[in-house]
Amino acid sequence: MRIDNRAKHSLVNIESDETSIYRLLDVQHLFELFESKMLTLVAPKLWADPYENFLEHCYGIDPSKPNVRINYNGYTKLIFGLCWTLNQDTDATWRIYSPNKSKAKIKTSTKKLHELIKKIDDNWFRSYLGKVNYFPESKIKSNISEAIKDSSFFIDNLIENFYLIKRDTFVDEREIRLLVRLITPEDKVINAMYQKADNMDICQIPIEDPIDLIDEIIFDPRMPNSLVRAYSNHLKTTFGFTKKCSKSKIYESPKIRVEVDKY
């Protein structure tokens, strides 16, 4: 894959088509999405996988100054991400990412998400919507070592070579990532359009109407039916969400009616 450094909004390793993508989130955060009309992206250092934040843990050494460590984590402070999946409805997804049986999953498409981001015409803003590739841990370690050795930490290279790459132990996640980098002329400047001074680890992107983005909402299959009804009614009456809003059916008992010849 190769990123067009001239583009404000890049598609990486995927087509701008109707491929469905999904994201699990707390119900509270789902309501906040409708209320704030903001997509919230977070700094990769907040992700669970330490390889996503390797620049916090890895460093270079100048042979002429062996007691000095060269730090590179400043390269990532203006990169933010939001993770989606191609997995429609799997047992593992619910059990791993909704341990309290309380989350909701939103459905959209790569095309809708890309078209939404493309509306941002800001010279200080770049976005990358890409499919994650999975490689053995040894290859990723080798890539990290080479990048540190050559000091080849350009932002687009980081996006392409590290934030759209993951260890193959996570291949079942089938991730699609929205990555954003903010451009500032100097370190002390922040982009107040997308960042808040009290939390520099998040980036918020305004969206006109979440209803246009979200095609369907699916609740945890283990959630009580009464809660599903209450949440669905709240989404309809408060936010006007009239699209499909239901509970996942993966744990429903089969109800099969068969006419038999004899008994």
- According to the model, what pLDDT value does residue 2 have? 59
pLDDT at 146: 83
Per-residue pLDDT in tens (0 to 9) along the chain, 263 residues: 556 666 889 898 887 678 999 999 999 999 999 999 999 999 988 888 888 877 777 777 777 877 877 777 666 778 899 999 999 999 999 999 999 999 999 999 999 999 999 999 888 899 999 999 999 999 988 888 887 777 666 666 778 788 899 999 999 999 999 999 887 766 556 677 888 888 888 999 999 999 999 999 999 999 999 999 999 999 999 999 999 999 999 998 888 888 888 77
Q: What pLDDT score was predicted for residue 1?
A: 54
What residue segments make up the domains of the chain, in order of their start? 9-247
pLDDT at 256: 87
Distance CA 257, CA 222 (A): 25
Element holding 245 (H helix, E strand): strand 245-247
Tell me the angle at which helices 225-239 and 27-36 cross, rounded to the nearest 10 degrees: 0
pLDDT computed for residue 255 by the predictor: 85
| 219 Rama class: left (phi>0) / alpha (psi -120 to 50) / beta | beta
Q: Which two tokens stand for residue 178?
A: 């929205």
- For residue 111, give Cα distances in angstroms to 17, 129, 214, 261: 5, 10, 12, 51
- The secondary structure element, H or E, covering residue 23 is strand 20-26
The single-letter code of the amino acid at 40 is T
Distance CA 188, CA 70 (A): 21
pTM > 0.75: yes or no: yes
If DSSP codes are grouped into helix, strand and coil, which group holds residue 210?
helix
